[in-house]
Amino acid sequence: MSHTLIIGAGITGAALAYQLSRPGEPVTILSTHAEGGLASAASFGWLNASFYLSHPHYHLRHEGLAAHRRLTEALLGLPTTWQGCLWYEATGEAQDETASDLAALGYTVDRLTRAQIAERLPALGPVPETALFFPEEGVADPASLARALIAASGAKVIRATVQSLTEAQGRVTGVLTDLGPFPATRVVLATGTGTSALLQPFGYVLPMLKRPGLMIATNPLPPICPVVLATPDQEVRQDASGHLIAPASAGHQGDHAETLGAFPVVVNATLQRLRALFPGHDIHFAHQAMAMRPVPGDGLPVVGQGPLQGVWIAVMHSGATLAPVVAECLAAEITGSPDSPMLAEFRPARFR
Ligand SMILES: Cc1cc2nc3c(=O)[nH]c(=O)nc-3n(C[C@H](O)[C@H](O)[C@H](O)COP(=O)(O)OP(=O)(O)OC[C@H]3O[C@@H](n4cnc5c(N)ncnc54)[C@H](O)[C@@H]3O)c2cc1C
């Protein structure tokens, strides 16, 4: 009988465990960090297809939104919300261009006037002339979602660090961990920034960008931000307990910074921007989460068969958006379905 090991308990490993355990496959998750992962526990959690790097990337992200909706229908009580995004990261002609490009791809885009923006966001201090509203977008807490998916999958979770993959004649036989060896017929690497180190001994170099991410949470506030708000210098959302959740960098999905800067300076600058957005509110720092974002060298997901038979890779940024659809497609491939055309542009082989 086949035995699948998933390495990693973030949103990617959890979504894969959920999909792979459905046909009754015995699945075990090995992870250094507890259920909820590493990047997943620091994520902004914005579910969107308005940010994309290529048309196949757009289509995968758009299907990602649909896959999230399928999960919320299948598993009641998931904390995923669909409040939409009010976006004016670009203004003027650049905003018009974004609207037409997205509309041409079939995305739902509403153009809002100043009065309509003020009506939706009465607490907003500086109200722009125009903005776009993307009603299909929402928010997930990837760490909570990962925990819910792992619970629903019934997968066994073991806290262990994988030191290496083991193989015989080009085929994986399991993994070696700090707790000892674990045999397996299949190993799925949902290891985020830990993936390259496990593949390097087999001659596969997975380039990863250095992209630290810092997420700041404020004190709880009355409801002032009912949407994901994306302005030219700040993205922000409000969670169910009233905290504003804000990445410390503007346009964080395409952010190219390799360093974060001094912590107090970065936090204060973010708080200043939030206070300017929502004047009249007493906004303070409450807590933060920091993680390296798992961004492959060309910014696109890396999904498919690895350098050894029986090894599969699923590494991606925007994993909050993408993990459920990638897991649907990859789990089908792992269990014998034909290759998914949706993953064609994102294969590991492009880096060989
Ligand atoms: C600050 C920030 C903001 C973000 N904002 C968004 C957003 O708004 N929208 C969006 O879609 N995405 C966003 N992302 C990206 C998204 O959160 C990640 O792409 C996603 O969480 C990756 O999930 P993962 O499960 O692949 O990796 P992780 O959550 O990093 O999990 C990796 C797992 O692998 C385990 N692991 C690694 N190596 C080993 C090993 N050798 N042995 C055992 N276990 C190992 C770790 O312990 C961990 O459990 C953001 C990320 C960050 C950090």
Domain definitions of the chain by residue range: 4-45+143-208+297-351, 85-135+212-292
pLDDT averaged over the chain?
Answer: 96
Q: How far does the centroid of ligand 1 lie from the alpha carbon of residue 295, in Å?
A: 10
Instruction: Place 298 in a pLDDT band, splitting at 50, 70 and 90.
Output: very high
Task: Please state, for a pLDDT cut of 90, what percent of the chain lies above it.
Answer: 92
Distances from the Cα of 32 to the Cαs of 22, 47, 87, 157, 200, in angstroms? 24, 26, 37, 10, 19
Distances from the Cα of 126 to the Cαs of 129, 218, 232, 272, in angstroms? 10, 20, 12, 14
**pLDDT given for residue 22 in this prediction:** 64
| Ligand 1 and 195: CB distance under 6 A | no
**pLDDT given for residue 31 in this prediction:** 98
| Ligand 1 and 143: CB distance under 6 A | no
Instruction: Place 309 in a pLDDT band, splitting at 50, 70 and 90.
Output: very high
Contact status, residue 20 vs residue 303, Cβ threshold 8 Å: no
**Residue 272 is inside which H or E element, if any?**
helix 263-277
Judged against a pLDDT cut of 80, whether residue 24 lies above it is answered with: no
**pLDDT given for residue 1 in this prediction:** 58
Instruction: Place 76 in a pLDDT band, splitting at 50, 70 and 90.
Output: confident
| Ligand 1 and 317: CB distance under 6 A | yes
Instruction: Place 254 in a pLDDT band, splitting at 50, 70 and 90.
Output: confident
Q: Is the pTM for the entire model greater than 0.85? A: yes
| Ligand 1 and 86: CB distance under 6 A | no
Q: Which CATH architecture has domain 85-135+212-292?
A: 2-Layer Sandwich (3.30)
The residue with tokens 């073991």 is 158
Instruction: Place 252 in a pLDDT band, splitting at 50, 70 and 90.
Output: confident
For the residues 114-118, what does the mean pLDDT come to? 98
**Which residue from 19, 31, 235 has its CB within 8 A of the most atoms of ligand 1, so it is best to mutate?**
31
| Ligand 1 and 142: CB distance under 6 A | yes
Judged against a pLDDT cut of 90, whether residue 181 lies above it is answered with: yes
* Ligand 1, atom 18, residue with closest C-alpha: 319
Q: Name the class of domain 4-45+143-208+297-351.
A: alpha beta
